[in-house]
Each structure stands twice: as structure tokens, then as C-alpha cells.
Amino acid sequence: MFDRSGLPKAVTIYEVGPRDGLQNEALTLSTDIKAELVRRLINSGIPAVEVASFVRPDTVPALADADELLTQLSPLLSSHRMSALVPNQRGLDRALHAGMREVAVFASATESFAKANLNNSVAGSLEIYSHVIKTAVDAGLRVRGYISMCFRDPWEGTVAAGKVVDVAERLLADGVTEISLGDTIGTATPGEVIELLNALDSRGISRSLLAVHFHDTYGQALSNTLTAMLEGITTIDSSIGGLGGCPFAKSATGNLATEDLVWQLHGLGISTGINFDELLATSNWLSEKSGLKIRSKSAIALVGNSRLVES
């Protein structure tokens, strides 16, 4: 008999496809399709969805319609956990105007990525976020803090865990309620995941404050997820269809696919609140409607072979 005692009974899946996924795809979807995607994800039981990014519209054209999208989604904002990325005070103002109850900031563990992605230093970007986080918390919002390049960075190589802990400490001190640890280029292996979680723990940062965000570039995402769960992590980021990537790592494949994550979790008897068939129908609908390439292995297998769906 398989001993499940080391695993959580339930996991919260934080869906990043509509934001992180679509931000890094070549196609730009219409606002109507994006809104319908979010509704379908919620209807399939996804408990938390990052729906938009309030960046300057010209910097990320694929997400330039955030205000209009949130107008369409506003009836759902009071009843469902939805968040949006805010890069600065202007973005937060737009998120507040849209009625968001949760926002996210996107920090970097390395100077090279901070420069390339945020056009700032690590300290400089944290300084901006500090004000944004405090203002959001004062307004009653939850704030999620992403930390990218937590394990390795394309310019700097291996990232010392201490750098990640420093950024996490600062974000938490400013009022962030959840830290998402990003393996942005997808190179991490399970031992590195344990080392990082231990480094955070040794500086007093509890597993309950952490989420993990794995990319599957090197095929390690599900191994890393299982390892993180065995270490006590219960919030996991994933993206419908495995959408996304990293503009600074050309070969980086998508985020961990939500369908593959749910397949594993349900196989392990871990509760997610998600209806797998509806999730599968959602990714199938998305690819048919938009032409986006679905990279979830389970979705490809099941949609491509109806006998497997039925068995």
C-alpha cells in the first residue's frame, strides 16, 4: 500500500496561463476569448487565477487590454480569487480601479534578470515594490510576490539561495502574503528545491508562505513539484496547456501544464477541487479557438485518443 503520509491532503493550484502564459506566446488573443478562458478555468474548479498584468500597454502588447478584460470579469471578482501583476504605482492604481482584491509584484533574485526584465537593479525594483505593496495592503488587498531566477540564471549561472532568501525577506517585511519561487528557465532539480526551501526555513520563512513555480524546460517540473509537496508546499503555480516560456531563455518551454499537474495530484489522491474533464475541455477549447499549441502531455494524449478518456 502506498504511504501518502508525507503528502498534503489538498493543494491549491494557482493558474498563471492567462497572464504568465499568454504574455510569452506569439499570438494575441481577443479580450472576449481571454474572459471566456478565465470563466472556463473557474468553472472547472481552479481556485486562483492570475488574469492580467497592469503593465504599460506598449511594453506587453498581448496583455494591453487588462482594463477592458477586468471590466468583463468584474462580476466574478467578489466571489473568486483573481490577481493581476502590477509593476508600479500606476499599475496598482489601475488594479484598484478595476476592483482587484489581489495583486502580484515580480521581483528578481539576480541583478542580470532585474536589469533585463525590469530595467532596474534588484534593490531599485524592491524599493518601488515596497511602496506598491504597502499601498495595496493598506487598501485591503492580498499581495503575491514572485521571485524569478531562484535557481539558475542565463547570465549568472547558479544562484545562491541566500540571494533568494534576501528578496523573500524584504517582500514579506513589506507585507506580501505569499511568495512564489520561480524556476524561470526550468533547470532546477529536486535536491536544489529542498536546499532552497531549507535555506528559507533557516531564516524563519515558513513553507506556508511559499508557492512554487516550475518550468519544464529540462523536464523536471513534476519531479520538483512532488519534491516540494513532500517538503510541505501546498500552493503550486501552473499554466493551462503549458502556455508560456521565458523571453530571456530562448529554449525555455512553457510553465508546468495545469492538466499534467492535476493528473499527478489526483493520481496521488490529493484534492484540488478541479474537475479534470472540464479542465481538459478548456484547453481543447482554447487550442481550437485560438490556434495556441497545447503542450500538456496528458491533454495531448487524452484529447488525441478518446478511448483513453473513457477508460
Q: Which is nearer to Mg ion, 229 or 243 (CB)?
A: 243
> Is 150 annotated in the active site?
no
Position 216 contacts Mg ion (CB under 5 A):
no
Stretch that binds Mg ion, among 14-22, 60-68, 102-110, 136-144 (CB under 5 A): 14-22
Stretch that binds Mg ion, among 125-133, 255-263, 270-278, 285-293 (CB under 5 A): 255-263
Which position among 246, 265, 274, 280 bears the catalytic label? Answer: 246
Stretch that binds Mg ion, among 95-103, 222-230, 251-259, 262-270 (CB under 5 A): 251-259
The CB-of-214 to Mg ion minimum distance in angstroms stands at 8
Neighbouring CB atoms inside 10 A of 99's CB total: 13
Stretch that binds Mg ion, among 91-99, 186-194, 253-261, 290-298 (CB under 5 A): 253-261
Q: Which is nearer to Mg ion, 125 or 255 (CB)?
A: 255
Position 231 contacts Mg ion (CB under 5 A):
no
Position 148 contacts Mg ion (CB under 5 A):
no
DSSP the chain: ----TTS-SB-EEEE-IIIIIHHTSS----HHHHHHHHHHHHHTT-SEEEEEE-S-TTT-GGGTTHHHHHHHHGGGTTTSEEEEE--SHHHHHHHHHHT-SEEEEEEESSHHHIIIIISS-HHHHHHHHHHHHHHHHHTT-EEEEEEE-SSEETTTEEPPHHHHHHHHHHHHHHT-SEEEEEETTS---HHHHHHHHHHHHHTT--GGGEEEEEB-TTS-HHHHHHHHHHTT--EEEEBGGG----TTSTT---BPBHHHHHHHHHHTT-B-S--HHHHHHHHHHHHHHH-PPP--HHHHHHHH-HHHHH-
Q: Which is nearer to Mg ion, 147 or 274 (CB)?
A: 147
CA 102 to chain centre: 14
Position 125 contacts Mg ion (CB under 5 A):
no
Position 20 contacts Mg ion (CB under 5 A):
yes
Count of residues that bind Mg ion according to CB under 5 A: 2
Q: Which is nearer to Mg ion, 224 or 255 (CB)?
A: 255
Q: Which is nearer to Mg ion, 212 or 302 (CB)?
A: 212
Position 255 contacts Mg ion (CB under 5 A):
yes
Active-site positions read 246
Site residues (vs Mg ion, CB under 5 A): 20, 255
